[in-house]
Amino acid sequence: MSKALDLITRVRGVRGAMLVSAEDGLVVAEQLMEGIKGGAVAALAASLAGRLRRAMEAAGTGTSVFWHLQAEQGAILVVPGDATGGILVVAVAEPDVNIGLVRLELLRAAEAAI
């Protein structure tokens, strides 16, 4: 588990990675840089994932397999928990991170987490 997170955090620009319970937003495992509030990231990512899942299902696109929130000073990238037994794989990153690379590592970590 920690090896999978390690591969995510090795990507340049990633400030932290974690496994989160989609159901209750609690941290399952984490590897974070100083200053990142793991509990808050977990809770907020789980909440946003739930809302996004409902919107996407309603829109007919099916449940999400990857999503990415882009903000001015950073980004959150998530592989949602449906395929991983209710575990979200989350990365917190700098705004200019290589999204494609992080996505690949998140999907790998999700496979490892199953």
Partner 1 sequence: MADDIRALSAQLAQDPQSLVFLRLGEALRRKGQLDGALRVAVNGLERHPHLADAHDLYARILTDKHDYERAFDEWDMAVRIAPHHTGALKGLAFLYFKVGDLAQAEAHLEQARKVEPDDPSIDQAIAMMRKGTAPPAPTAATAESAPALASAPSATVTTAAFDEARVFAGLEGAHEGLLLIDGAGRVLGGALKNGAGADVTDTVAAYLAGVSQEAARTAKLLGLGAWMGLSAEGQHGNVHLAHPTPQALLLVVRERGMPLGRLAILAQRATAMARRWLEKQ
Site residues (vs partner 1, CB under 8 A): 36-37, 40-41, 44-45, 47-48, 51-52, 54-56, 58-76, 92, 99-100
The minimum distance between CB 95 and partner 1, in angstroms, equals: 8
Nearest residue (CB) to partner 1, 7 versus 66:
66
The minimum distance between CB 15 and partner 1, in angstroms, equals: 10
**What is the rounded CA–CA span in Å between residue 106 and residue 110?**
6
Q: What is the DSSP letter of 13?
A: T
Nearest residue (CB) to partner 1, 3 versus 61:
61
Nearest residue (CB) to partner 1, 19 versus 78:
78
Cβ neighbourhood burial of 18 (10 Å; 0-12, 13-18, 19+): buried
DSSP assignment string, 86-104: SEEEEEEE-TT--HHHHHH
